[in-house]
């Protein structure tokens, strides 16, 4: 009896879910207008996607004289995509929000919907390397997510296998943190006793499970360090002597002349690191310079979608504080530091070859301040700069359909991922 009853309930729930999801798809299908907008802007691509953690980091780019805003944006699945031009490159700007999940979702929505030739992620980052200073802009060669752990049972050690290690799911090969090594005591005898224990024992850093679009679905591979695109990295290296701002006014200057630095590794996790001991640990164990909460996520999405990417992040302060640079200095120079990262981003985008812009027929639109392709300019004129505010509003209203769909589908208009092979 119990089983039949349960089957009945499952059937009813399944029908209910099916009904609901079809309803959702129908209501999205009505917004063919949104898909048409996306298709239209995609014809003006390919774009460089500028993926930005938050509005504090977006503002200086919006204000930069080399960025020409189209004033045009499209909202998809709760994210706003702004369209503009830097140099000869059409660009899409999007804010991710804080942390690894937000950064991953936003990057995937960008790549699934828009015609993107590469991703530039920028902002500010913590610094784990005392050779570098506040205001230096750094470009890491590799990015890794250091928030995926196997946390070992107390009583076991580096000689013991991790759970599921034999299946190839977890590994001891990348490195581990032993909590007991961070015990403090004013009894130096105890502190120096190497067999001092801690119930938290050890955590082992794990590579990410990845599913590249040219791999076999459902067959995972593992990656810890994702390499920045070689062409982008080499292009950026041409900027290594570029001048960065040192002073906010005639009297207040950074103690070191800021430089563009090329460093080995950057690390991200959904963890705000303000701890000097942990900073030293990741520096020593993983050769990390940049520490942040999004970059590795952007890297992992781009890696799996086979889209070139680079991360350009200015160093704000030493994560966890230090003697030479205090948080007061970081605060005083926050805007300068950020402006320097934007400066590097703009110069980097300007260096990218214009060859991929064969379809990009620049013209001055009737708005006068926007140079975009004919289609795009016409779109702009019709939609965004229409004479009446009413038209403008109805455009936004149409986009709402899409945001309503959050959670039921990937924003509806997403192109299937497997159509994204490039
Ligand atoms: C920079 O952008 C912000 C936000 O868009 C704005 O409030 C500010 O006035 C701008 N600054 C300049 C110098 O344009
Ligand atoms: C030693 O640690 C105890 C407990 O934390 C503290 O009360 C004491 O002041 C410390 N002594 C010294 C000399 O630091
Ligand atoms: C050091 O650790 C060992 C093993 O736990 C213990 O037997 C010994 O008493 C400790 N020595 C000190 C000075 O704490
Ligand atoms: C320069 O900026 C600093 C920090 O904002 C401020 O304290 C100082 O008064 C400024 N000096 C001048 C000459 O504007
Ligand atoms: C950063 O750039 C903005 C405009 O983009 C400007 O208003 C601001 O003064 C700059 N900050 C510094 C410290 O140079």
Residue 306 lies in a domain: yes
Helix or strand run (H / E) with residue 317: strand 309-318
Q: How many CB atoms lie within 10 A of CB 341?
A: 26
% of the chain with per-residue pLDDT over 90: 62
What tokens were used for 246? 């040192």
359 or 190, which is more confident: 190
pLDDT tens across 54-92, in order? 999 999 999 999 999 988 999 999 999 999 999 889 999
What's the 64 CA to ligand 1 centre distance in angstroms? 10
- For the cut 60, the answer to whether the pLDDT of residue 399 exceeds it is no
| CATH code of the domain covering residue 407 | 3.40.50.1580
Residue 218 lies in a domain: no
Report the number of distinct structural domains present in the chain.
2
HSE at residue 36, side-chain half, CA atoms within 13 A, is 10
Residue whose structure tokens are 């019709």: 382
310 or 399, which is more confident: 310
What's the 63 CA to ligand 1 centre distance in angstroms? 6
Directed axis angle between helix 389-404 and helix 2-29, to 10°? Answer: 160
User: What DSSP letter does each residue of 356-419 carry, written as one string?
Assistant: GGTT---EE-TTSS-EE-HHHHHHIIIIIT-SSHHHHHHHHHHHHHHHHTTTTSSTTTPPPGGG
- For the cut 60, the answer to whether the pLDDT of residue 23 exceeds it is no
136 and 196, same domain (yes or no): no
Position in ligand 5 atom list of the atom nearest CA 63:
5
Residue 14 lies in a domain: no
Q: Is 193 in the pocket of ligand 3 (CB under 6 A)?
A: yes
My answer on whether omega of the bond before 63 falls inside 30° of 0, hence cis, is no
367 and 232, same domain (yes or no): yes
What's the 334 CA to ligand 5 centre distance in angstroms? 10
Task: Please state the φ and ψ torsions of residue 286, each to the nearest 5 degrees.
Answer: -125, 10
Q: Is 63 in the pocket of ligand 1 (CB under 6 A)?
A: yes
Judge contact between 138 and 315, C-beta under 8 A: yes
Ligand nearest to the CA of 93: 1
What tokens were used for 240? 């290594």
Judge contact between 47 and 117, C-beta under 8 A: yes
What's the 341 CA to ligand 5 centre distance in angstroms? 12
156 and 95, same domain (yes or no): no
Mutate to test the pocket of ligand 3, among 186, 193, 197, 199 (most ligand atoms within 8 A of CB): 193
Judge contact between 148 and 206, C-beta under 8 A: yes
Residue 31 banded pLDDT, cuts 50, 70, 90? confident
**What is the structure's pLDDT at 324?**
53
138 and 153, same domain (yes or no): no
**What is the structure's pLDDT at 183?**
81
What's the 193 CA to ligand 3 centre distance in angstroms? 6
pLDDT tens across 171-230, in order? 999 999 999 888 877 666 565 655 678 899 999 999 999 999 999 999 989 999 999 999
**What is the structure's pLDDT at 32?**
84
Global confidence as pTM: 0.78
Bridge partners of 83, per DSSP, are 72, 92
Task: Please state the φ and ψ torsions of residue 93, each to the nearest 5 degrees.
Answer: -105, 135
Mutate to test the pocket of ligand 3, among 154, 195, 198 (most ligand atoms within 8 A of CB): 195
Residues near ligand 4 with C-beta < 6 Å?
Answer: 248-252, 332
**What is the structure's pLDDT at 328?**
76
What's the 185 CA to ligand 2 centre distance in angstroms? 8
Cα gap 158→67, rounded to integer Å? 52
181 DSSP assignment: G
Q: Whose CA is nearest to atom 12 of ligand 1?
A: 63
Domain span at residue 179 reads 149-205
Residue 232 lies in a domain: yes
- For the cut 70, the answer to whether the pLDDT of residue 403 exceeds it is no
Cα gap 380→370, rounded to integer Å? 9
Task: Please state the φ and ψ torsions of residue 87, each to the nearest 5 degrees.
Answer: 60, -125
Ligand nearest to the CA of 187: 2
Q: Whose CA is nearest to atom 9 of ligand 1?
A: 63
116 and 158, same domain (yes or no): no
Distance of CA 412 to the CA centre of its chain: 22
Ligand nearest to the CA of 56: 1
**What is the structure's pLDDT at 197?**
82
pLDDT tens across 233-242, in order? 999 999 999 9
Cα gap 63→336, rounded to integer Å? 14
Q: Whose CA is nearest to atom 11 of ligand 1?
A: 63
Window from 142-146, 181-185, 253-257, 353-357 with minimum mean pLDDT: 353-357
137 and 153, same domain (yes or no): no
Cα gap 158→179, rounded to integer Å? 13
283 and 138, same domain (yes or no): yes
Residue 240 lies in a domain: yes
Q: Whose CA is nearest to atom 7 of ligand 4?
A: 252
pLDDT tens across 284-330, in order? 999 999 999 999 999 999 999 999 999 999 999 888 877 555 677 88
The three-class DSSP label of residue 109 is helix
Q: Is 59 in the pocket of ligand 1 (CB under 6 A)?
A: yes
């Amino acid at each position: 009896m119990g089983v039949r009853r349960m089957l009945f309930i499952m059937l009813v729930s399944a029908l209910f879910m099916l009904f609901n999801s079809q309803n959702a798809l129908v209501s999205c299908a009505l917004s063919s207008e949104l898909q048409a907008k996306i298709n239209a802007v995609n014809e003006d691509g390919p774009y460089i996607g500028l993926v930005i953690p938050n509005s504090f980091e977006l503002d200086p780019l919006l204000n930069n004289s080399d960025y020409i805003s189209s004033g045009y944006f499209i909202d998809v699945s709760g994210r706003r995509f702004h369209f503009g031009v830097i140099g000869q490159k059409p660009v899409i700007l999007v804010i991710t929000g804080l942390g690894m999940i937000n950064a991953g979702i936003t990057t995937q929505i960008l790549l699934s919907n828009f015609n993107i030739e590469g991703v530039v992620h920028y902002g500010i980052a913590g610094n784990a390397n005392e050779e570098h200073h506040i205001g230096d802009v750094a470009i890491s060669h590799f990015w890794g997510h250091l928030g995926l752990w196997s946390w070992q049972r107390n009583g076991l050690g580096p000689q013991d296998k991790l759970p599921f290690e034999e299946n190839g799911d977890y590994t001891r090969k990348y490195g581990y943190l032993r909590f007991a090594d961070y015990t403090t005591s004013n009894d130096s005898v105890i502190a120096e006793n190497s067999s001092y224990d801690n119930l938290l024992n050890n955590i082992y850093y794990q590579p990410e499970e990845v599913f590249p679009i040219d791999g076999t679905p459902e067959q995972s591979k593992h990656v810890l360090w994702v390499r920045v695109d070689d062409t982008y990295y080499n292009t950026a290296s041409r900027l290594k002597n570029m001048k960065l701002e040192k002073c906010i006014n005639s009297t207040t200057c950074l103690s070191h002349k800021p430089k563009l630095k090329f460093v080995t590794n950057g690390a991200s996790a959904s963890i705000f690191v303000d701890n000097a001991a942990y900073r030293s640990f990741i520096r020593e164990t993983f050769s990390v310079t940049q520490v942040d909460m999004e970059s590795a996520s952007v890297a992992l999405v781009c890696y799996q979608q086979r889209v070139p990417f680079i991360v350009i992040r200015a160093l704000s302060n030493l994560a966890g504080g230090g003697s030479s640079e205090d948080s007061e200095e970081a605060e005083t120079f926050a805007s300068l530091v950020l402006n320097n990262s934007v400066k590097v981003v703009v110069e980097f985008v300007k260096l990218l070859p214009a060859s991929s812009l064969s379809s990009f027929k620049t013209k001055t639109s009737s708005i006068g301040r926007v140079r975009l392709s004919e289609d795009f300019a016409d779109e702009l004129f019709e939609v965004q700069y229409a004479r009446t505010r009413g038209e403008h509003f109805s455009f936004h209203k149409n986009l709402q359909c899409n945001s309503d769909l959050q959670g039921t589908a990937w924003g509806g208009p997403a192109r299937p991922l497997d159509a994204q092979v490039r």
